[in-house]
Structure 1
């Protein structure tokens, strides 16, 4: 078998306790047979149309020749650079696939004006754009398509030869794309975005960029039989039990890439786990960590650690009492194992792993702000050039940047976590990711970090639908240059601001503490921010 899993400690106890019941209930063969009743009557209607991923390998095989033929056609036309406009599962899987293969793919899953401009200005003459969206109604992806279409036309390039669309059959995007003359790949409509790694959403951009997608499917095929088996050694049953059946349950899961040749896998798994499990006040919070992250030495009682390693049989344990799960295997096989495992975890947690009931709330709030476009809420105060806003309990006693951060951390309970959400151009400000470790050292609790609005399609569901234990730090930046969106009454700068404000308002309505810091001069203000966080 091409995937190996090692468990110890609490996770081993969970496997011994939970797997026999999963085997006797024939959960694995039920998923393989697309039994929609496995998650209870409330989930039946949704799960009935969301289990197509179990057949993804077979359904996707015919795509390989089509992708290869289009790649050759584009290269003959001088196109050797692929950009991808997509959010959530539409971008995270191709990002992992191409990075692991060492193949270049420009992933545009952002609305920060500077990041969009960087993509537009990068070899446009030799670029093709893949637009990936199940419906095409995703505001970010629609906006990215609009600016690229204009850029191609302004450069004298026919967009019909440079825009490739991946979408569900019969979707509004499918109809519009065919009318416009774009090349269209249809994906299986019975697959949700976060389970779509081995469908057209994962394969088309990756294959066009140069990845051997047939090999990826071969790797997944190697575990298909084992995953459908009602057996104690089914890797998906073992993994599901290890991460969701500990007693008492450890509801935070550290995802650590530790020597694996797979690049960025925790970021893909983060969405799968958070959006699938974080609802009805429960769930597993994925926390993407480096190998020397502060949390790993804290021995936190509610933090489980899963390491993605090169060989699960090797000496990967650190003897610090926290390393309970190690997983190794080829990328295609791991995609499928984790998809099965999280579906099984949904049954163990007694939730529907295929819906995302709280994601829409932030989208609705964003749309309202874009429609009404009210004056920005004034800052509570400005400290070191940084505008400070927040919920009353956080901002009430604060007088400067440092005290505002202190007030937010004081809201962090013994079973809580801190989420850092950076709505900035991550190409221009990559150093902001460093605030995660700084805050983890101070908080002594798990800290997640997400680039906005990307994380809204990932951990955003958990933050609003999961346990009410999170506190939230938003970091925004005033863009040096804005960019209009053709056919829309708002700019990218206004869009990213509305997304941050909309999400903050929804979090506040859910009783979550929020601190929002806006860098008015990012180059200058970053040093002040780090000083305050220290």
Structure 2
């Protein structure tokens, strides 16, 4: 493999990571005609067991062309809703992460609501409600979080004095044809944009899911399609194919023992791509005890960005393609539309190299089913095993405070393991909780991921259950001081959030993995106590 591979403004540069394993993998892919077959949407590339699923999941390869048909509809929508300048996106996983990257990178305001935390939902609804249009995005049309957001906003609009017809005008529904949500949308009098059913949620960046909310927020989405379409011809080629280079490096590194990939922005213009790539890679590859664990880090020098079993990847906007990459890293630079397509292609290639189906998610429903049962029967009452000021702890170990509990958890991490922090909190008001990630990475010397619940259930949640069983898990929940009913449902947002956390604990505990649950009876004080304990641990 060459050190720099370039096409359509996208460059993949590798330095000191071009191993014989990667070279062999590339040669085998080319010999089997994989680049051309994938570009032609051949569903047989991942084996007979995956063929049926793949046959209806490869539409992302020509999404840049197909999605152009949406542009007149999006322009008409933007004109029709020009008086509503606060765009809220209610979506989970792939339905929300790509629009968030687009809006952040291009500097257009978009409120992304991908939580069941009642405080965060309340704050969103209270923000400029009189100028709000809500994009409800759900491929299946049955996502519980998204349905709850739709109900809450509908009620808020009615409570504000709008008629049902006026409230219906405030909604744009993005879903697959024939989904339950399409019928509901028609009944509401909402605008409906039907998505391509041959594209899975996490591969949907350049479909209606990525384009509708961002177009309403003021993004010229045609530019994104242009950038992706310029890259498309290279996808069939054996050489001059940076997406193939990236996918080969990801898959071969995992085979060679570097089965974690750290994702860091290099400061050259793209914001938040790591969070989107995280759900794409983790949910696509983490199954059958295999997979690539993506670790989103704060900077290229952050704790956990490097390691013997870590492939370090820097991402950013266009740069001088002749500049060398930092030794031991892969650098992926180019325009955002091309980045989306390249990472989707690379993930499919990595799946082929690893030997898994990159389009199914066999373990995602487990926590959902647990949540449903808990909502029906009630959250199990369990006594705390220790109390440390504002923090109540639940652990199978004999520990007496947060510091000793964290020490116990980190001691369970093996030489090939990782720590996953899962925070069922308000990711706006409780944002400081994310500072625990680099602190624990310093303390353990191991990769540490951080995910906001429940959104990580739609991404890394698959990897936690289906990937290599080497994780140690820290779940953080918080007291609810101002709950919010879910209209038309027998539960509140707080109860739903608690049930989701409990359902995920059940799924992890059932696998015998180390699990520490910290409940913050006072969120602000509890976060401060957690961070203090993590600092002491790493000192």
> Structure 1 length normalisation: TM-score?
0.96
Q: Does 1:258 align with 2:266?
A: yes
Q: Counterpart in 2 of 1:386? A: 391
Residue 526 to residue 314, structure 1, CA distance change in 2 (3 Å): farther
Q: Does 1:147 align with 2:152?
A: yes
**Deviation for aligned residue 1:21:** 1.5
Residue 129 to residue 316, structure 1, CA distance change in 2 (3 Å): farther
Distance 1:517 1:312 in 2: 46
Residue 312 to residue 370, structure 1, CA distance change in 2 (3 Å): farther
1:294 aligned to which of 295, 298, 303: 303
**Deviation for aligned residue 1:302:** 0.5
Residue 313 to residue 251, structure 1, CA distance change in 2 (3 Å): same
Residue 367 to residue 8, structure 1, CA distance change in 2 (3 Å): same
Q: Counterpart in 2 of 1:494? A: 495
Q: Counterpart in 2 of 1:62? A: 69
2:122 aligned to which of 107, 117, 131: 117
Distance 2:286 2:273 in 1: 20
Distance 2:532 2:297 in 1: 22
Provide, for residues 362-406 of structure 1, a one-character-per-residue CA deviation record: whole Å limited to 9, x for no partner. Answer: 10111110011144222112111211013x2xxx22122211111
Provide, for residues 241-297 of structure 1, a one-character-per-residue CA deviation record: whole Å limited to 9, x for no partner. Answer: 11111362310000111123111001100000000000000000000012231223x
Cα pair 2:282 2:293 within 8 Å, conserved: yes
Aligned length: 522
Q: Does 1:220 align with 2:232?
A: no
Q: Counterpart in 1 of 2:3? A: none
Distance 2:269 2:372 in 1: 40
> Matched residue of 1:516: which SS?
strand
Q: Does 1:368 align with 2:373?
A: yes
**Deviation for aligned residue 1:11:** 3.5
**Deviation for aligned residue 1:223:** 0.3
Cα pair 1:11 1:243 within 8 Å, conserved: no
Q: Counterpart in 2 of 1:81? A: 86
Cα pair 2:99 2:205 within 8 Å, conserved: yes
Distance 1:179 1:28 in 2: 45
Q: Counterpart in 2 of 1:166? A: 174
Cα pair 2:119 2:483 within 8 Å, conserved: yes
Q: Counterpart in 2 of 1:24? A: 31
Runs (5+) with no aligned partner, structure 2: 1-7
> Structure 2 length normalisation: TM-score?
0.95
Q: Counterpart in 2 of 1:434? A: 435
Q: Does 1:38 align with 2:39?
A: no
Cα pair 1:88 1:458 within 8 Å, conserved: yes
Distance 1:225 1:211 in 2: 25
Runs (5+) with no aligned partner, structure 1: none
Q: Counterpart in 1 of 2:473? A: 472
Alignment of 1:107-506 (within 5 A): 107-157=112-162, 158-229=166-237, 231-246=238-253, 248-291=256-299, 292-296=301-305, 300-310=307-317, 311=319, 313=321, 315=323, 317-319=325-327, 322-323=328-329, 325-390=330-395, 392=396, 396-506=397-507
> Matched residue of 1:475: which SS?
strand
The worse-fitting range, judged by mean Cα deviation, of 10-19 and 505-514 is 10-19
**Deviation for aligned residue 1:22:** 1.0
Residue 440 to residue 341, structure 1, CA distance change in 2 (3 Å): same
Cα pair 1:114 1:425 within 8 Å, conserved: yes
**Deviation for aligned residue 1:12:** 5.0
> Matched residue of 1:313: which SS?
coil
Provide, for residues 114-170 of structure 1, a one-character-per-residue CA deviation record: whole Å limited to 9, x for no partner. Answer: 100011000000110000001221110000000000001111222111001000001
**Deviation for aligned residue 1:316:** 6.2
Q: CA RMSD in A?
A: 1.3
